[in-house]
């Protein structure tokens, strides 16, 4: 029998829903405001008349982006970084989490490695030693300088390790009885049943690589090698004078219709499109993957 809720209980539920809606609106407002700026007229933006809706609707900023070859070059570098860095993070996370998920009898040195990983997660050598290491390895101005320093995300390793430890031991025992070795067991048993957690950490890696800008700023000496977020960060500070030199007269007239704020807002919106396109396909794994992987046996 389903019991009807009392008036006070329904009031509390309504208050919680209302509070969540308000928080969601506050969280989404900066994004909506940026979209409104990108579609607004230069005079309205400079006068501060844009709040929640575009004023003087125009697509000038987006037309300029389509003609900005440096923007798409940086976009391509970020795509390569996400693909290469995501694959490296996935492979190293899985092959490190799998042995650490064994008990102490099967892996006697497990605790030593775990303490080592936790120590490295809490403490680091600092920015200067990292920069010197990248320089000594001749990785500057290469894509490897953006992906190798963070090749092993320790938080993701711990998350996947705990997920593996919570899987039924009978699965592995049955695979061993059938003659499966460690690699076959990992590929055929552990990875397929761990897709929620793996999808979660994969999305973490994708977002981390896509949004990172500081490493591109310190490891790349040429603006043409900047990833997208580093390129955008420079535009937020100032409009690239090299871009102005490469424009024709008609393009300069078109650029005069847009302000720094509208152009940078449009670039930010375009930069968010790939993540917004990927997120809906992996979002369903978020809660399931994090909850199951965060419980230690």
Domain ranges of the chain: 59-297
pLDDT of residue 246: 61
pLDDT of residue 253: 61
Q: What is the CA radius of gyration of the chain?
A: 25
Residue-wise DSSP of 166-182: TS-HHHHHHHHHTT--H
Judged on CB neighbours under 10 Å (0-12, 13-18, 19+), 6 is exposed
What is the token pair recorded at 206? Answer: 């994708």
What pLDDT, in 10s, does the model give residues 224-259?
Answer: 888 888 888 776 544 555 555 665 666 556 656 666
pLDDT of residue 286: 62
CA distance 109 to 182: 17
pLDDT of residue 237: 42
Among residues 213, 281, 265, the alpha carbon closest in space to that of 40 is found at 265
251 in Cβ contact with 293 (< 8 Å): no
| pLDDT tens sequence for the chain (297 residues) | 445 667 777 788 888 999 999 999 898 888 888 888 888 877 777 777 778 788 777 787 787 777 778 888 888 999 999 999 999 999 999 998 888 888 777 788 888 888 888 888 888 778 888 888 888 888 888 889 889 888 888 888 888 888 888 888 887 778 888 787 888 888 888 888 888 888 888 888 888 898 888 888 888 888 888 888 888 877 654 455 555 566 566 655 665 666 677 877 888 888 888 888 877 776 666 656 555 544 444
pLDDT of residue 82: 92
pLDDT of residue 296: 47
What is the token pair recorded at 55? Answer: 């004023």
Among residues 215, 57, 102, the alpha carbon closest in space to that of 148 is found at 215
- Which CATH superfamily includes the segment(s) 59-297? MetI-like (1.10.3720.10)
pTM over 0.95: no
Q: Which residues are CB-contacts of 145 (< 8 A; sequence separation ≥ 6)?
A: 134, 139, 215, 219, 220
Q: 């152009």: which residue's tokens?
A: 263
What is the number of H-type helices and E-type strands within the chain?
18, 0
pLDDT of residue 121: 81
232 in Cβ contact with 267 (< 8 Å): yes
198 in Cβ contact with 190 (< 8 Å): no
pLDDT of residue 71: 83
Q: 106 by DSSP, 3-state: which? A: coil
Q: How many residues does the chain have?
A: 297
């Amino acid at each position: 029998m389903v019991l009807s809720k009392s008036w006070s209980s329904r009031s509390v539920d309504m208050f919680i829903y209302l509070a969540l809606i308000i928080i969601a609106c506050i969280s989404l407002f900066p994004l909506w405001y940026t979209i409104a700026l990108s579609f607004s007229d230069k005079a309205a933006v400079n006068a501060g008349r844009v709040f929640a809706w575009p004023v003087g609707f125009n697509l000038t900023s987006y037309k300029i982006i389509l003609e900005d070859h440096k923007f798409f070059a940086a976009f391509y570098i970020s795509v390569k970084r996400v693909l290469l860095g995501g694959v490296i993070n996935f492979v190293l996370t899985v092959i490190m989490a799998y042995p650490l998920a064994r008990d102490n009898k099967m892996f006697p040195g497990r605790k030593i490695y775990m303490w080592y990983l936790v120590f490295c997660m809490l403490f680091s050598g600092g920015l200067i030693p990292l920069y010197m290491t990248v320089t000594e390895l001749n990785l500057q101005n290469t894509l490897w300088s953006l992906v190798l320093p963070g090749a092993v995300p320790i938080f993701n390793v711990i998350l996947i390790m705990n997920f593996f430890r919570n899987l039924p031991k009978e699965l592995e025992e049955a695979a061993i009885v059938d003659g499966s070795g460690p690699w076959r067991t990992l590929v055929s048993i552990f990875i397929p049943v761990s897709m929620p957690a793996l999808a979660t950490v994969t999305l973490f890696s994708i977002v981390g690589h896509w949004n990172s800008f500081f490493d591109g700023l310190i490891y790349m000496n040429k603006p043409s090698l900047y990833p997208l977020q580093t390129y955008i960060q420079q535009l937020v500070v100032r409009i690239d004078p090299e871009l102005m030199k490469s424009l024709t007269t008609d393009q300069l007239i078109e650029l005069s219709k847009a302000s720094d704020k509208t152009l940078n807002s449009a670039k930010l919106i375009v930069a968010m499109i790939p993540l917004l396109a990927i997120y809906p396909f992996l979002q369903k794994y978020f809660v399931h993957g994090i909850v199951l992987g965060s419980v230690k046996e």
